[in-house]
Structure 1
Amino acid sequence: MPNVDTLVTDRDGVSTRSDAQGQTTTGRFGSLVAGLPALLTDGAVYAFALWTVLYHAAFLVHLRPSVTFLVWLVCCVLLGAYLVVRRWRRRPTPTSGDDRDERTGSRAATMDRRWLLPTVAAAALAAVTAGLDGISWWVPALAGLAAAVGAVLLTRRAWLALPGTGSDTPVEKPWQSVYALVASGLVGVASLFIARNTPDDVFYVGKSVWIAERDIVPLRDFLFTEQVAPPLSSQPPIASIEVLAGALGRVFGIHAASATWYVLLPVLAVLAALSLWRLIQRWAPRRPVLAFTVALAFLAFVCGDDAALGTFHLPRLHEGKGMFVSAVVPLLWVYLTRWFDTRSRKDLAAIVAISIVATGLTSTSVMILPLVVGAAGLGMLLVGRWRDALVAGVAVMFYPVASVIVTRITLGPMTSVIASAQFFDAEGTYRRTLLVGVLGVICGLALWCGPFLVRRGTPALFAAGAAAAMSLLLVPGVLEALSAGSGLAAVLWRVPWFVPLPALVGLLCTIDVPPLARVATLRAVVGGVLAAVLVGAFAVAGTPMWSARSFVEVHERPTWKLPQQRQKIDFWIWNLDDRPPGLLLAPSTLMRTMPIVTSEVRVVMARNGYLVDYDMNSQFSQDRLKLAAFADGVDEIAPVAELAAAMDRLDVGTVCVYNGNRKARDLAPELGLVKFASRKAPGAVTCYRRTA
């Protein structure tokens, strides 16, 4: 018999349920909506971590990627159903209408202002001088180090004076989550129409195409040879994201490039935006929606340079390193914050899962993850939690380090040519990633004032640790020492990636002025003005993501991220019925595009930059460079005899050149080339078969 308290009688004498059950259902629905960003991102983390583990395990039993994908898909369906049911059954968390600032005020509110003001002044000096030219780098380096030390000491003192602040968790409000979901959805839609032609796509997308067409994972070179030459030492087969795209295309019968750019990329874009939201929602002392909007504007308006963080967002999210810096880094900070507050096994499992995700995305994770956990560990050590720092370090680093050790034992070490190909010192690293001028000043303020922008407790400790670690790396000579000791000179400019800079930039609009603390309306106006000023600075001083100066084209419909004319020409060459066997020699731009179109047409040189792995002076490399120069129509080319010998050694069967390449067309008879196909303008091309 039901409890009488749950029944009421209407005018017709019919018993009905009371409003209590309806309120419970509504509360559960609101809780589900509020937690949807966390549900989606956490689910994606566990799903991709599972895929990465299955992909690595498949090597032991020689499973084809398509079979591994089907196993993973079944597991994902079961995992997704479990998470949804668990979330729905969870009791709704009562929400408060009070502003979060009353519960999670800025850390600066509890700090000794006698030390706070000099620290902020040092931070401002470091930011301004770092963004300006003509000033010795020692000035921002020392000022930044002083600001970081001050922030570390102040946050430690505030933590110890107010124990328990680390457990203060912001409330997830449904309307905020809806805003984040809508904004993230728009980001996902935008990813379909923005195209940036990135030279590295020949490897990343080309690998997916190879896997989709052959259902095998290439463990040796697949760009220059048919797995005859050694693999690129800088790209070990640890990453699983390209294999996922290839297996997706294989199983569902779609082109791997379409699977990458039409299916995976929008999903990755949504997840990256939601990851940014989750960090801001966790760290912001107030106005998280406004901070999230400013952070998205920063990524949208500050692109242009190839190392800008905005460039590694939408334009390059399909590359593992883009997703790593845009989604994994902010999520790792979220998980570390949550675990340090709760120290629960569930949150520790999330840290392990995100480290596996990082391993499956890019080899760069092995360099950046220690910096993240080191900065967070510094915050833990400051308050005497050394065991937590040790546990976090092991959880983050075990899987990535183990995978690298196994790979290097199997495939050998990275070549010294690749490892030392390029280097940027502290000043170059800052100005390459955090930029110069007004934008460099804003990024510097976000970095060195970050501990005073975030919520008190764990976020303040971690932000201080990140500022201290980054400040130490920016001292002249430190990166040089790391380069000499690690052999990672070519990628050390990426060290700022461990700092969640877009989130900290967004939090600049949450600055609270103490005299305004009791005037809510005025505080909101100040926040809006700060946000408008920041976005205006981004728009004026930055290069928008959709600008041609960002090497981006905006299309009216979803397209592959390739120059459309080159794509059409390569499809035309691929579909030639009487194309002879052997390698294709064509202009370098067409050869760089062909592996993305198909792996069936093998090219002479997919990308000249990758030849450094095979010694640029070797015959292997020189033959390809000479033939590419001939097909490109450069002024100085090798003698005919050398070209013919190179064609023989490489087994060139087809030669295609633009009609404007008069020199190549005139030399065709001497090289034994006979015309067999031509294409009219635009993109007029003539193709020859070799008879000699």
Structure 2
Amino acid sequence: MTERGGASAPSGEREQARTRRLGSLVSALPALLTDGAVYAFALWTVLYHAAFLFDLRPSVTFLVWLVGCVLVGGYVALRRWRRRTGAASSDERDGPAESPAATMDRRWLLPTIAAAVLAAVTAGLDGVPWLVPAVAGVAAAVGAVLLTRRAWLARPGVGSDAPTERSWQSGYALVASGLVGIASLFIARNTPDDVFYVGKSVWVAERDIVPLRDFLFTEQVAAPLSSQPPIASIEVLAGALGRFLGIHAASATWYVLLPVLAVLAALSLWRLIQRWAPRRPVLAFTVALAFLAFVCGDDAALGTFHLPRLHEGKGMFVSAVVPLLWVYLTRWFDTRSRKDLAPIIAISIVATGLTSTSVMILPLLVGAAGLGMLLVGRWRDALVAGVAVMAYPIGAVIVTRIALGPMTSVIASAQFFDAEGTYRRTLLIGVLGVICGLGLWCGPFLVRRGTPALFAAGATAAMSVLLVPGVLEALSAGSGLAAVLWRVPWFVPLPALIGLLCTIDFAPLARVAALRAVVGAALAAVLVGAFAVAGTPMWSVRSFVEVHERPTWKLPQQRQKIDFWIWNLDDRPPGLLLAPSTLMRTMPIVTSEVRVVMARNGYLVDYDMNSQFSQDRLKLAAFADGVDQIAPVSELAAAMDRLDVGTVCVYNGNRKARDLAPELGLVKFASRKAPGAVTCYRRTA
């Protein structure tokens, strides 16, 4: 009996050790995956930019990157794992953390929260003069700044409370993120900008060349789009990935890259909530995901830039880079360790490789965090953070603008939304606008005390100033970025703050854990119910989304089939393809081998809409679309000559174009039956 009992003890200890190691691994996975992805994509972006100096093809750069990822990634992962396993298990930490409201002077706290609620309610309602929420928002922001500063100074030298990390919580986040990744395969939103983003990937995959000039209207003859300089590297990565795997670049983008991006975006949101939430991070994460899922529809809604548009760099920027940068800044300000500066620098490079919008949003984000640092007298830290975040993006922009010239003023000022328009375009109106406002102006009182509270107060203050009438107008006049200034709310981690609304604690419930949990669940249910009733879900046709039974390209399937049919015509003559605008917008995503007359009319703004370059394309597109008013036959024929149109395909329902075919010297050579009946003509001399 003694021997049997003695033998079972070591076995039980080994089982407990394995369980602890498994729990430690699960807890570490969200950080390992996201940090690893940040360093990997930062390395790719640096190599992509360096390849311009050595004239390397994307396929070569991709192979160098793969080797670098294996070597660097393995080394970093090993070091991190050793530190993790050597430390005490974080599962042993327990207990909710205090939010800043718990330690603040109630005499000033209540008026500040009242101002925040007033700002949120009036901003979300139509018919209220915008001056009311603007003034109330500034008052709430000033109160939050002063209260969080006072709370920090009352506990000098103390940063954030250590976040509670339980393996089951990380496991939940991993499962939820995996489901988000799977869902990305079945949700398809036809986005007009895909002709550029995915079209560039297709060009890279088929030609193994990075197009530095226009590739949509000409064979790199015309100047590139001024608003899309070749700084971003994600489209080239997708193209190089497709070439490496031997699959179509669109498949590499939507079947391989997109699910990975979706998982990383969800885990990035989880990491911020887990870092900032004073309690109930799983519940807050669930509410935040529900917000992104149910509040779509509008073109500028934050949910629209999640799953439906993650493959576009700007979607990944707002969904993953913004929350991760807040995480990294929080950790670094708590430790002020040099090693914690590394991920901040890396993610600034990632932002540069994702979208040119980062050059506008990053200064706002690091400025908001820097304001929090300045509030407690850490001006050197604010300066270091600013340099770490902005050095690479500014350098990339300077080099690009020197090489390509200044941005075209026409495209930069194509549209503008003032403070009220920006709020209601991005943060919405009605019940949803009120909830977004509560997340924005109550954010400093929802997060953990210490650094999260300081940073949330800085973000609220910065956004409140931007929403004052006249501020965005001044920024537009000074920067020439009127067309994209409506994106300024992106630097605020709004989905996370909205999720934290369900973590509000009430003093009478502080000692009753069960009742506290019930109240939190009830708040979460109310929020999710509001999203479901007032919002437009991302899978709704009103969000311009189709849900398929199997993974599909994010294109209307009928257009995709027609374009493949045109591409595969054996006797298709050389020259440009003229077809209905929707088909021409799809063709660059199908192949770069079939050049089209006009990939997208909106991009012609960069080439002067009144120029012959643009007018020829607009006239011919109107002819192929079958609009009521078209140009005379002589003008159409001259435009076809100038553009070297070789093939003209029109829907059979376009009787006008078919009747004019003989006058234009068009001879039928192929036809496609319904559905999607199309007739194609070749031009004769």
TM-score, length-scaled by structure 1: 0.97
After superposition, the C-alpha distances for 1:81-120 in whole angstroms (9 at most, x for unaligned) are 224433432314333556432xx21110100000000000
| Preserved CA contact (<8 Å) 1:27 1:92 | no
1:366 to 359, 382, 385: 359
Matched letter for residue 325 of structure 1: V
Q: CA–CA distance in 1 between the matches of 2:7 and 2:549?
A: 59
1:673 to 666, 669, 672: 666
Seen in structure 2, the aligned counterparts of structure 1 residues 686 and 89 have a Cα distance that, compared at 3 Å, is same
Matched, 1:403 2:396: yes
Give the aligned partner of residue 159 of structure 2.
166
Aligned-pair CA distance for 1:379: 0.3
Give the aligned partner of residue 279 of structure 1.
272
Give the aligned partner of residue 232 of structure 1.
225
Matched, 1:179 2:172: yes
| Preserved CA contact (<8 Å) 1:282 1:334 | yes
Give the aligned partner of residue 531 of structure 2.
538
Structure 1 unmatched ranges of 5 or more: 1-7
1:136 to 112, 120, 129: 129
Q: CA–CA distance in 2 between the matches of 1:36 and 1:599?
A: 39
Matches within 5 A, 1:205-604: 205-604=198-597
Aligned-pair CA distance for 1:43: 0.1
3-state SS in 2 of match to 1:449: helix
Matched letter for residue 566 of structure 1: R
1:93 to 82, 85, 88: 88
Aligned-pair CA distance for 1:23: 4.2
Matches within 5 A, 1:598-617: 598-617=591-610
| Preserved CA contact (<8 Å) 1:424 1:493 | yes
3-state SS in 2 of match to 1:363: coil
Aligned-pair CA distance for 1:344: 1.3
Seen in structure 2, the aligned counterparts of structure 1 residues 32 and 300 have a Cα distance that, compared at 3 Å, is same
Matched letter for residue 673 of structure 1: L
3-state SS in 2 of match to 1:654: strand
3-state SS in 1 of match to 2:305: coil
Q: CA–CA distance in 1 between the matches of 2:575 and 2:395?
A: 40
Give the aligned partner of residue 51 of structure 1.
44
Aligned-pair CA distance for 1:431: 0.2
Aligned-pair CA distance for 1:16: 9.0
Seen in structure 2, the aligned counterparts of structure 1 residues 15 and 304 have a Cα distance that, compared at 3 Å, is closer
Matched, 1:107 2:113: no
Seen in structure 2, the aligned counterparts of structure 1 residues 451 and 596 have a Cα distance that, compared at 3 Å, is same
Seen in structure 2, the aligned counterparts of structure 1 residues 196 and 96 have a Cα distance that, compared at 3 Å, is closer
| Preserved CA contact (<8 Å) 1:654 1:687 | yes
| Preserved CA contact (<8 Å) 2:361 2:491 | yes
Q: CA–CA distance in 2 between the matches of 1:242 and 1:149?
A: 42
Aligned-pair CA distance for 1:74: 1.4
Aligned-pair CA distance for 1:168: 2.1
Matched letter for residue 579 of structure 1: R
Aligned-pair CA distance for 1:590: 0.1
| Preserved CA contact (<8 Å) 1:100 1:285 | no
Matched, 1:26 2:19: yes
Seen in structure 2, the aligned counterparts of structure 1 residues 440 and 13 have a Cα distance that, compared at 3 Å, is closer
3-state SS in 1 of match to 2:300: coil
Number of aligned residues:
683
Q: CA–CA distance in 2 between the matches of 1:437 and 1:381?
A: 35
Matched letter for residue 683 of structure 1: G
Aligned-pair CA distance for 1:173: 1.0
Q: CA–CA distance in 2 between the matches of 1:218 and 1:14?
A: 68
| Preserved CA contact (<8 Å) 1:65 1:247 | yes
RMSD: 1.4
Aligned-pair CA distance for 1:445: 0.4
Q: CA–CA distance in 2 between the matches of 1:13 and 1:373?
A: 59
Aligned-pair CA distance for 1:333: 0.2
Aligned-pair CA distance for 1:32: 1.5
Matched letter for residue 254 of structure 2: W
Give the aligned partner of residue 5 of structure 1.
none
Give the aligned partner of residue 112 of structure 2.
119
Structure 2 unmatched ranges of 5 or more: none
Aligned-pair CA distance for 1:476: 0.1
Q: CA–CA distance in 1 between the matches of 2:18 and 2:170?
A: 18
3-state SS in 2 of match to 1:166: coil
Q: CA–CA distance in 2 between the matches of 1:15 and 1:539?
A: 54
Q: CA–CA distance in 1 between the matches of 2:582 and 2:202?
A: 18
After superposition, the C-alpha distances for 1:626-682 in whole angstroms (9 at most, x for unaligned) are 000000000000000000000000000000000000000000000000000000000
Percent of aligned pairs with the same residue?
Answer: 89
Give the aligned partner of residue 614 of structure 2.
621
Matched letter for residue 666 of structure 1: D
Aligned-pair CA distance for 1:201: 0.1
After superposition, the C-alpha distances for 1:392-421 in whole angstroms (9 at most, x for unaligned) are 000000000000000000000000101110
After superposition, the C-alpha distances for 1:515-535 in whole angstroms (9 at most, x for unaligned) are 110010000000000000000
Q: CA–CA distance in 1 between the matches of 2:13 and 2:331?
A: 32
| Preserved CA contact (<8 Å) 2:91 2:167 | no
Matched letter for residue 575 of structure 1: N
After superposition, the C-alpha distances for 1:592-645 in whole angstroms (9 at most, x for unaligned) are 000000000000000000000000000000000000000000000000000000
3-state SS in 1 of match to 2:546: strand
